[in-house]
Amino acid sequence: MVKEQRGASDPARTLELLWRMPGGASGREDSRRGPKQGLTVDAVVQAAVELADSAGLDALTMRNIAQRLGVTPMTLYTYVPGKAELLDLMLDFVYLRMPRGDRAAAPWREKVEAVARENRDLYDRHPWVATMSTARPPLGPGLMAKYEHELAAFDGLGLDDVEMDAALTLLLDFVRSVAHATLDTKAATRDSALSDAQWWEANEPLLAKVFDPARFPLAARVGSAAGAAHQGMYDPGHAFTFGLHRILDGLAHLMDRPR
């Protein structure tokens, strides 16, 4: 899965847009002004998110967004300087709108599991997010609210601040990896027009000719058992549940260490 690189953007301008600063630190004109009465940065970003949700990032062009909004492509540049800034705004837009339940009184495992499931739901609603590079994420209100909410699940567990950040990063990286694998599985099914079960059925006769179970006994036994259990090479639901429980077990061990 190739990550979408957001490209170079003007950090000061991006922060102005993320925090909707009239005029902003650079003294530029308010980006929400424009030739179309009532059009806003939020409206442009929402249209872009809806387009990416329905057609993927390959379809995300200023021309296609403008067509959705009924304006000319040049009009959009009144609100957003370019695609790099727009992608930052889109990420922060979906982060800000993630459901965040109040689980202050819940057991710690339930709170941490809820964070994982909230992020998995995010990727289900917006698959394109899993393809975005977040090496330098947009430092907007959505990301800050998300980070604050998710850190709360690890607060009071006996971890120091660096460990809290590392534990959250581990959890989010795991959920992201499952989302990537899920996208790959869906893409393989779409491109081949075959489900995993159908693909294996079609290739089983050839595999039987070249594969020697006596030479690879573990691969034969384990692969057969896993394939039968998952009805294919990969089961995203099983991978998510199994991996999440192992992460929770590891955190429990960390919290029980001698101090």
Domains of the chain (ranges plus CATH)? 11-96 (1.10.10.60), 108-255 (1.10.357.10)
Q: Report the SS3 class of residue 74.
A: helix
Q: Of 143, 130, 60, whose CA–CA distance to 98 is shortest?
A: 143
Per-residue pLDDT of the chain (259 residues; tens, 9 = 90+): 546 656 667 788 899 999 998 754 333 444 444 444 569 999 999 999 999 999 999 999 999 999 999 999 999 999 999 999 999 999 999 999 999 988 889 999 999 999 999 999 999 999 999 999 888 888 999 999 999 999 999 999 999 999 999 999 999 999 999 999 999 988 888 888 888 778 778 888 888 888 999 999 999 999 999 988 988 778 999 999 999 999 999 999 999 888 6
Helix H, strand E, coil C: the string for 196-252 is HHHHHHHHHHHHHHHCCCCCCHHHHHHHHHHHHHHCCCCCHHHHHHHHHHHHHHHHH
Two structure tokens written together for 33: 């002004």
pLDDT of residue 30: 47
Q: Report the SS3 class of residue 133.
A: coil
Amino acid letter for position 168 = L
Cα 41 to the chain's mean position, in Å?
22
Answer for the pair 62, 73: CB distance below 8 angstroms, yes or no: yes
Answer for the pair 93, 143: CB distance below 8 angstroms, yes or no: no
Q: Report the SS3 class of residue 134.
A: coil
pLDDT of residue 193: 87
Residue 7 per-residue DSSP state? -
Residues near 215 by beta carbon (within 8 Å), at least 6 away in sequence = none
